[in-house]
Structures are given as C-alpha cells and as structure tokens.
Amino acid sequence: MAVPRLFVEAPLVAGAAVPLEEGQARYLTAVMRLAPGAPVRVFNGMDGEWAATLAQAGKRGASLSIGAQTRTQTAPPDLTLLFAPVKRHGTDLIVEKATELGVRTLQPVLTRRTVSETVRLERLRAIAIEAAEQTERLDVPEIAAPLPLHRILDGWDGERPLVYADEAADDPSAAWGGAQGRARPVGEALRDVRAPALALLTGPEGGFDAEERRLLRSLPYVVPVSLGPRILRAGTAVIAALAVIQSSWGDW
C-alpha cells in the first residue's frame, strides 16, 4: 500500500510534532486504518517533502511526528491559468486538472458572459490540496480572488505572454466566424514563445463577446491560439491547452 501523502500548513523540521486537522486525522485512522507508528509523507509548499509517522491518534485528534526530509522544495514552471468560472462542477474540474497539470497560480476571471460569479475559494483550495497530495506536487497552486477581465488586463506585466484560447473568427455571418481571422494552432503559436513566465486565458461556456475578443487581439502580449476545429467545453479547453503548453514550453 502506498504511504499516504498529506499537505499541512505547519513548518516542517525534524522532530516536530504536527497536529492534524480533523478530516486528515479521520482519513488516516478511519479510512486508511493506520495505527500509531505508521509511515506518512507530508509537505507544506515550502519545506519540501518529509517522512513522518502517525504519533498519536485518539478521540482528541491525531498528530504526526516529523522524521527526515525526503525531497527538497521545487517550484513548477511560472504558469498562470486565468479561467472564467463555469458551473460548479466545471470549475471544480478546472481547478483539479490545472493542479495535476502543474499550473502554479489560478486566477478566476469575470467576463461579460460569465454566469457563475460566486467562486467558493475555500472549496477550490480544498480541491487543489487534494489534487496536489495525490499528484506528488510539492506545492499547492495559489487561487486568487476573482477579478474582472479589464482589471487583469490593465495591470498586466507585458513580459508575460498571455496565451488566449480563441475559438472564434471575424465573419459575423458565418458559423464560429468562418475562416477569416482564425487564431494559429496552439502548438505552432507556442514555438515562438520563449518567455520564462506564461499565462493561459480561457473563456466561459458562452465564450468571449466580440468586444472582449477585439480588445484581447489588439494587445501586444496576447498570443491568440486555436485548439482545433471543434468547439470544446471550457474544462476540456483548459486541459487540452495546458497539455500542449506543458509539452512545448513547460516541464514535460
């Protein structure tokens, strides 16, 4: 059986005793059925990964005794995902998959057609922690509070290319805008991108509106990309684009 891996907030040093949250204590004792002395692995996003043992487990909670460091801290590539929140399940999926795929920072973006504006940051953080635990990451992506698209663009650092997933084109009378003004295929567009930091922007179920699209495509740091001739659901677009970005620019 694999040794359980947990994220904790506490600093990790040899010999420390780290109290566990109720949910984690229950998971180790009731679900995994670990007894005191059983091995556990822990990370906190700052101090790498450590071997630990379940020190005490009882009615008043459980704690870990920290042993030796097993991995030193590393950071994933400086990749930010800007995503329009979608219906609850869709947003959960985006956060989980972006964590698995190695995004460092997640920024929910409110666009004109964003319908689900309530973002439960604590819930999303819990999803990111769980994904980080199981995916062997040493950090948990930061999830920022939602911001309107124009605010994000106003404060943008032009050194960071913004890869914009744009399924549309320019002819209003044709389906998806016809052929004129299509973005370049993502793999091809990324070949020219050498920057040390990158961001990906994806839209809501209804896409970006014409004005947002015009604005985005007028900005010098925006790299519009196509993810192929099919219209993908928002979550699929995130996963597909991240896979290409990580393999051509990132750490795959």
- Which residue ranges make up the site for ligand SAH (CB under 6 A)? 165-167, 202-203, 206-208, 226-228, 230-232, 234, 237
Residue with Cβ nearer ligand SAH (131 or 234): 234
Nearest distance from C-beta of residue 8 to ligand SAH, angstroms: 35
Torsion from C-alpha of 128, 105, 89, 22, nearest 10 degrees: 20
CB nearer ligand SAH, residue 30 or residue 115 = 115
The CB-nearest residue to ligand SAH is: 203
> Looking at beta carbons only, is 64 or 225 nearer to ligand SAH?
225
Q: How far is the CB of 115 from ligand SAH (least distance, A)?
A: 12
Closest CB to ligand SAH among 54 and 237?
A: 237
Angle at 53 between CA 59 and CA 129, to 5 degrees: 80
117: left (phi over 0), alpha (psi -120 to 50) or beta: alpha
Q: What angle do CA 46, 50, 51 make, to 5 degrees?
A: 165
CB 241 within 8 A of CB 200: yes
CB of residue 112 to ligand SAH, shortest distance in Å: 11
Max CA distance (Å), the chain: 69
At closest approach, how far in Å is the CB of 144 from ligand SAH? 19
DSSP assigned state of 235:
H
